[in-house]
Amino acid sequence: MSPRLAGACIAVLRRDLVLAWRRRSDIAMPVLYALIVTMLFPFALGPEDSLLQRIAGGVILVTILLAMLLALDAMFASDIEDGSLEQLMLAPQPLALMLGMKILAHWLTTALPLIVIAPLLAAMLHLPAAVIPVLLLALLLVTPLISLFGGVLVALTAGTRRSGMLLALMLLPLCVPALIFAAGAVAAAQQGLPWLAPISWLAAVLVLAVVLAPLACAAALRIALDC
């Protein structure tokens, strides 16, 4: 990568992070949502440790997925409104790479805070401490997939008003296999079984998504904006 292209990538990433920091309430909203939803499960199901431990992995994974959906609709919204996305499409730098930086910024501002509080969510559901590293590793692989798949779908619906429900309906079927593998790894770790196989599958899918999703996102955005 040339120094000029690397500088452009860093500039796009820094711009999105600065804009996200100015809207800190938007960063806090998914975190508060995940905390509240996880807190309600012991009240709804009772304080029985064995039951909470059995469902803890799946509950945390699904809660974080739904929390990320809250911020997904706004991934390119401000760029479309102020016209900066059209300028980015006309820039000499590869559009797919620039959009990849925007997706990375979305993951850093939305998913990373959720991963940071994941041990707290696990403690609320009495997940064994030995299983928490497996849960964090699964989240480090699943959440980028959600951001990458979501970026493609957001690009497809760019310019559509109130596309939040449409995004959720399209994204959930794509994320179900990844959630199954991640929950399977956590459940295997709880039972003392080998858990590396589902994690390896998630890693392989993530590598493919990192390569292909920005290209698909750029193509979808050109189609949606007729550029």
Q: What is the pLDDT of residues 66-101, one digit of tens each?
A: 898 888 877 777 777 777 777 777 777 788 888 888
pTM: 0.88
pLDDT band, residue 151 (cuts 50/70/90)? confident
Q: Could you list the residue range(s) of the whole structural domain that residue 13 is in?
A: 3-225
Structure tokens at 115: 């991963």
The structural domain count of the chain equals 1
- CA pseudo-torsion sign 141, 157, 222, 16: negative
Q: What is the pLDDT of residues 181-193, one digit of tens each?
A: 999 999 999 988 8
Q: What is the pLDDT of residues 3-24, one digit of tens each?
A: 777 787 888 888 888 888 888 7
Residues 115 and 172 sit within 8 Å (Cβ to Cβ): no
Give whole-number Cα distances, 115 to 2, 6, 30, 135, 226, in Å.
Answer: 33, 27, 11, 9, 37
> What CA–CA distance (Å, rounded) separates 216 from 85?
16
Q: What is the pLDDT of residues 96-140, one digit of tens each?
A: 888 888 899 989 999 999 999 999 999 888 888 899 999 999 999
The C-alpha angle with vertex 173 and arms to 167 and 178, in degrees rounded to 5, equals 115
